[in-house]
Amino acid sequence: MYRIGLEAFRFEERDAPLYRLDPRAKLLVAFIYMILTILANSQAIQLLITALLLATLLLLGRLGRKLVKNLVTLAPLMTLVFLANYLVSGDLMASLLPTQKLLNLVMSLNTFFLTTNPDDFAITLEKMGMPLTITLAFSLSLRFIHVLARVLTEIVEAQLSRGHKLDSGGLTTRIRNYTAILIPLIIISVRKSISVAETLELRGFREGARHTPFTTMKIGFWDVAYIIVSISIATALLIYGGEIENILLEILTRYLEDMAI
Amino acid sequence: MIRVENLWYTYDGDNYVLRDVSLEIGEGEIYYILGDNGSGKTTLIRHLNGLLKPSRGRVLVDGLDTRETPVSRLAEKVSIVFQNPEKMFYMPTVIEEISTTLRNFGVENPDQRAEEILREYGLSRYRDRSPFTLSGGEKRILSIAIMTGWSPRYLVLDEPTIGLDGDYRRRLQWAIDRHLSRGGSVVIVTHDMELVLEREGRVVILSDGQVVYRGYTQELIDLDPGQLGRYGLVKPTYARSTSYMKTSGVIKDYHGYCGVFAEVAGVLDNV
Do residue A184 and residue B89 have CB atoms under 8 angstroms apart? yes
Residue type, position A56, single letter: T
Tell me: pLDDT of B257 over 70: no
List B65's β-bridge partners, or say none. B60
Q: Is A159 on the interface with B (CB under 8 A)?
A: yes
Considering the domain architecture, whether residues B207 and B247 belong to the same structural domain is answered as no
Q: Where would I find the H helices in chain B?
A: 41-45, 71-77, 94-104, 110-120, 136-148, 166-181, 193-197, 217-220, 225-230, 237-247, 256-270
Which residues constitute the domain of residue B264?
236-271
pLDDT for the residue numbered A7? 65
Do residue B90 and residue A183 have CB atoms under 8 angstroms apart? yes
Considering the domain architecture, whether residues B224 and B250 belong to the same structural domain is answered as no
Q: A121: closest CA among A24, A5, A12?
A: A24
Whether the CB-CB separation of B139 and B108 falls below 8 Å is answered with no
Do residue A163 and residue B101 have CB atoms under 8 angstroms apart? yes
Neighbours of B53 (CB within 10 A): 14
Lowest mean pLDDT among A145-149, B159-163, B224-228, B249-253: B249-253
Model confidence pLDDT, tens digit, residues A101-123: 999 999 999 898 889 888 788 88
Considering the domain architecture, whether residues B220 and B255 belong to the same structural domain is answered as no
Confidence of residue B152 (pLDDT cuts 50, 70, 90): very high
Considering the domain architecture, whether residues B161 and B268 belong to the same structural domain is answered as no
Quick one: residue B53, left, alpha or beta (phi over 0 = left, psi -120 to 50 = alpha)?
beta
pLDDT over 70, % of chain A: 95
Q: Is A150 on the interface with B (CB under 8 A)?
A: no
The CA–CA distances, whole Å, from A243 to A38, A63, A249, B223 equal 19, 32, 10, 79
End-to-end Cα, chain A, rounded Å: 45
Query: How close B97 gets to chain A, by Cα (Å)?
Result: 11
Mean pLDDT along residues A236-242: 82
Considering the domain architecture, whether residues B267 and B174 belong to the same structural domain is answered as no
Considering the domain architecture, whether residues B36 and B150 belong to the same structural domain is answered as yes
Query: How close B228 gets to chain A, by Cα (Å)?
Result: 29
Name the 3-class secondary structure at B7: strand
- CATH code for the domain of B185: 3.40.50.300
Chain-centroid distance of CA B68 in Å reads 25
pLDDT for the residue numbered B223? 78
Query: How close B14 gets to chain A, by Cα (Å)?
Result: 12
Query: How close B51 gets to chain A, by Cα (Å)?
Result: 7
Tell me: pLDDT of B220 over 90: no
Tell me: pLDDT of A246 over 90: no
Q: b or e along B214-234 (b: 16 or more beta carbons within 10 Å of the residue's beta carbon)?
A: eeebbebbebeeeebeebebe
Considering the domain architecture, whether residues B30 and B126 belong to the same structural domain is answered as yes
Quick one: residue B238, left, alpha or beta (phi over 0 = left, psi -120 to 50 = alpha)?
alpha
Model confidence pLDDT, tens digit, residues A44-103: 889 889 999 999 999 888 888 888 888 888 898 999 999 999 998 888 888 889 999 999
Nearest to A161 among B13, B80, B90 (CB): B80
Which residue did the predictor score with more confidence, B256 or B31?
A: B31
Neighbours of B269 (CB within 10 A): 7
Nearest to A158 among B72, B88, B132 (CB): B88
Tell me: pLDDT of A6 over 70: no
Considering the domain architecture, whether residues B146 and B241 belong to the same structural domain is answered as no
Domain count, chain B: 2
Q: What's chain A's length in residues?
A: 261
Name the 3-class secondary structure at A177: helix
Considering the domain architecture, whether residues B170 and B202 belong to the same structural domain is answered as yes
Considering the domain architecture, whether residues B242 and B255 belong to the same structural domain is answered as yes
pLDDT for the residue numbered A28? 92
Task: Give the helix, strand, coil percentages of chain A, each rounded to 5.
Answer: 80, 0, 20
List of long-range contacts for A37-40, beta carbons under 8 Å, 24+ apart: A37/A101, A37/A104, A37/A105, A37/A108, A38/A101, A38/A105, A39/A238, A40/A237, A40/A238, A40/A241
Tell me how far apart the alpha carbons of residues B24 and B21 are, in angstroms, rounded to a whole number. 10
A62 phi, psi to nearest 5 deg:
45, 50
pLDDT over 90, % of chain B: 64
Tell me: pLDDT of A261 over 70: no
Tell me how far apart the alpha carbons of residues B182 and B155 are, in angstroms, rounded to a whole number. 12
Mean pLDDT along residues B57-70: 94
Tell me how far apart the alpha carbons of residues A146 and A12 are, in angstroms, rounded to a whole number. 10
pLDDT for the residue numbered B260? 65
Query: Of chain B residues 74-133, which have a CB less than 8 A from chain A?
Result: 75-76, 79-80, 82, 84, 86-90, 101, 104-105, 132
Rg (CA), chain B: 20
> Which string of DSSP letters, residue by residue, matches B202-247?
EEEEEETTEEEEEEEHHHHTTS-HHHHHHTT----HHHHHHHHHHH
Query: How close B221 gets to chain A, by Cα (Å)?
Result: 34
Considering the domain architecture, whether residues B103 and B123 belong to the same structural domain is answered as yes
Whether the CB-CB separation of B57 and B65 falls below 8 Å is answered with no
Do residue A154 and residue B82 have CB atoms under 8 angstroms apart? yes
Q: Is B66 on the interface with A (CB under 8 A)?
A: no
Confidence of residue B200 (pLDDT cuts 50, 70, 90): confident
pLDDT for the residue numbered B43? 94
Nearest to B87 among A65, A155, A164 (CB): A155
Tell me how far apart the alpha carbons of residues A81 and A94 are, in angstroms, rounded to a whole number. 12
Considering the domain architecture, whether residues B69 and B95 belong to the same structural domain is answered as yes
The domain ranges of chain A are 2-114+208-260, 132-204
